[in-house]
Amino acid sequence: MFLLQATNSSGVSFVLLLGTLGMLVLTVGLIIFIILHQRRVKRFNEKIQAMEQAQQRLLLNASIRLQEEERQRLAADLHDDAGPLLATARLYLNENLVNQDKATQLQSIFQARQIIDDTIQLVRNISHSLMPPTLKNFGLESAINDLFQKISGSGAINASSRFHEYKERLKEEKELIIFRVVQELINNILKHSNSSFIHLTQNVHAGKFYLRIHHDGRGLVQADFEKLNKSNVGLGLKNITSRLRVVEGNINFEKDISQTYYKVTIELPKDEPYE
Amino acid sequence: MVCYLIVFFILNYYFEETGSVLGKKYYYFFYTIFEYYSFALLIKFSIPSTKANHLFIWLSLIFTIFLIFFYSSIHIKRLDSIPIGIESIFIMVFIIYYFYSQLKNVSKQSIYEFFSFWIVLGILFYIGFTFFFNILVNNLDPGHFNTYYTYSFLGDIFKNIFFSIAVLFSLKKKKEPNTTIPNLDMINHHN
């Protein structure tokens, strides 16, 4: 209105100068604001990126450490158990055996055979711990059911599992990863939770594969899990995260609405059926 | 942009040298509509979104209809202030949308590394310098008009400087080697 009312020339000049000056101030202000804002956002993004890289490094370190621990365990098993057994068998089958009487020979051969059988069993156990045969031959459902039966059979804890919809198997690599994650979770529950039962259920919903573990002991919620994941402790949990990242899966730790149970939910995209 | 610069060089030269087009509706109509479409298209091509296309289509349609109506019915005293004012406001809408889209999509590059930023900056300065002059030009006495008319060229000068920077940035961008592919031309041809 003021602009329209400014009819005399000096008034118009004043409005023109003031308006132009205002426009230029606005223009410069807008540019400065945009540049500063963009710099701030960029700095923030860089910070987030650095944090993500640090997290990745932690996960990588955890997975390397775990791999090394596994190798050490394997080396120890072979060196401490299989090595002495085979050495003993060799003692029974030494060169003097041919000079001994038949009864001693037979006894030595029998002893050596016993030891070799034990060694075979030991190697089989090591091999099974690396890749459970049930998982390879019959799939995730059987392997998990087998694992839970063994846990329940020990009498220490009541463990049960139920697969609701698993007609189409996941890919072999995916099954192994899920099995390892479940093993790690179960180990943690057995070690730290002091719970009286563990129950696992499986289902498929909206193209996603779900596994949920319930237990009534001490547990974690998501905040604890993320905190442990970012810290230098909690190697097993970091390993879970890195394994699930490979299969583009998620894990969620929460407490039941009744505040009685802890729930761990694994979610991953259901891909093409197993061939 | 080059097309815009050539056409406006001819239009301004014609206006300044002959003066015969002063008050001629067809000249103002062509000048305003060409300026609007040049600026709007320059900004629109800098915003990769369908919303920008819709905005461009609707505002351009409204503006073109308005211009046809205005020039066919209104007498122009000295300059077509109202169409220029509306054109400036519409271009400001495009500029604000451009900056909004730039704020939303933060890339690794700074905003001033894009040549489109310098184009928009040139247009913004041009509008900043000339907006109030164009609106109030019909109310100025001849003495003040001559003074401010000269000053209004500052907007053109700034615009052309920023457009030149934009051209430099676009050339620089074209010359940049592709760093993602390593240079493997290490075979000794003298062997």
- Position B62 scores a pLDDT of 92
Alpha-carbon distances, residue A230 vs A57, A85, A224 (angstroms): 10, 44, 10
Q: Is B85 on the interface with A (CB under 8 A)?
A: no
Record the pTM: 0.57
- Position B21 scores a pLDDT of 56
- Position A198 scores a pLDDT of 92
Give the lowest-confidence range in A139-143, B47-51, B76-80, B95-99.
Answer: B76-80
For an interface test with A, give the residue of B78, B111, B120 to mutate (most A CBs within 10 A).
Answer: B111
Interchain pair A34, B111: CB under 8 A: yes
Report the residue of chain B nearest A35, measured CA to CA.
B111
- Position A236 scores a pLDDT of 82
Give the residue ranges of chain A where pLDDT is below 70.
1-9, 272-275
DSSP string, chain B: -HHHHHHHHHHHHHHHHH-TTTT-HHHHHHHHHHHHHHHHHHHHTTS--HHHHHHHHHHHHHHHHHHHHHHHHPPPSSS-HHHHHHHHHHHHHHHHHHHHHHHHS--SS-GGGSHHHHHHHHHHHHHHHHHHHHHHGGGS-HHHHHHHHHHHHHHHHHHHHHHHHHHHHHHHHHH---TTS-------TT-
**Minimal Cβ distance to A31: which of B103, B121, B140:** B121
Q: What is the ipTM of this complex?
A: 0.75
Residue B186 CB: number of other CB atoms within 10 A?
6
Q: Is B102 on the interface with A (CB under 8 A)?
A: yes
Residue A191 CB: number of other CB atoms within 10 A?
9
State the Cα torsion B107-B109-B112-B118 to the nearest 10°. Answer: -70
Q: Give per-residue burial for B46-77: e unless 16+ CB within 10 Å, then b.
A: bbeeeebeebbeebbeebeeebeebbeeeebe
Interchain pair A27, B128: CB under 8 A: yes
**Minimal Cβ distance to B103: which of A6, A13, A38:** A38
- Position A2 scores a pLDDT of 46
Distance CA A57, CA A138 (A): 35
Interchain pair B99, A45: CB under 8 A: no
- Position B176 scores a pLDDT of 58
Greater confidence, B70 or A274?
B70
- Position A58 scores a pLDDT of 82
- Position A6 scores a pLDDT of 47
**Contact indicator for A151, A198 with CB cutoff of 8 Å:** yes
Q: Which residues of A touch B (CB under 8 A)?
A: 3, 6-7, 9, 12-13, 15-16, 19-20, 23-24, 26-27, 30-31, 34-35, 37-39, 41-42, 45
Furthest-apart CA atoms within chain B: distance in Å: 82
Interchain pair A35, B99: CB under 8 A: no
Measure A16 CA to nearest chain B CA, in Å. 5
Greater confidence, B10 or A275?
B10
- Position B93 scores a pLDDT of 92
Report the residue of chain B nearest A16, measured CA to CA.
B132
Q: Which pair of tokens denotes residue B180?
A: 């993602």
Say yes or no to pLDDT of B168 above 50.
yes
What single-letter DSSP state applies at residue A234?
A: -
Measure A19 CA to nearest chain B CA, in Å. 6
Interchain pair A9, B148: CB under 8 A: no
Report the residue of chain B nearest A18, measured CA to CA.
B132
- Position A161 scores a pLDDT of 92
- Confidence grade of residue B28 (pLDDT, cut at 50, 70, 90): confident
**Contact indicator for A157, A196 with CB cutoff of 8 Å:** yes
Q: Is B106 on the interface with A (CB under 8 A)?
A: yes
Q: Is B105 on the interface with A (CB under 8 A)?
A: no
Residues of B in contact with A23 (CB under 8 A): 127-129, 131-132
Interchain pair A9, B139: CB under 8 A: yes
Distance CA A166, CA A140 (A): 9
**Minimal Cβ distance to A12: which of B106, B125, B140:** B140
Q: Is B121 on the interface with A (CB under 8 A)?
A: yes
Pairing label, strands A262-269, A208-215: antiparallel
Q: What is the 3-state secondary structure (H, E, C) of A64-100?
A: HHHHHHHHHHHHHHHHHHHHHHHHHHHHHCCHHHHHC
Tens-digit pLDDT profile for residues B144-156: 777 788 888 888 8
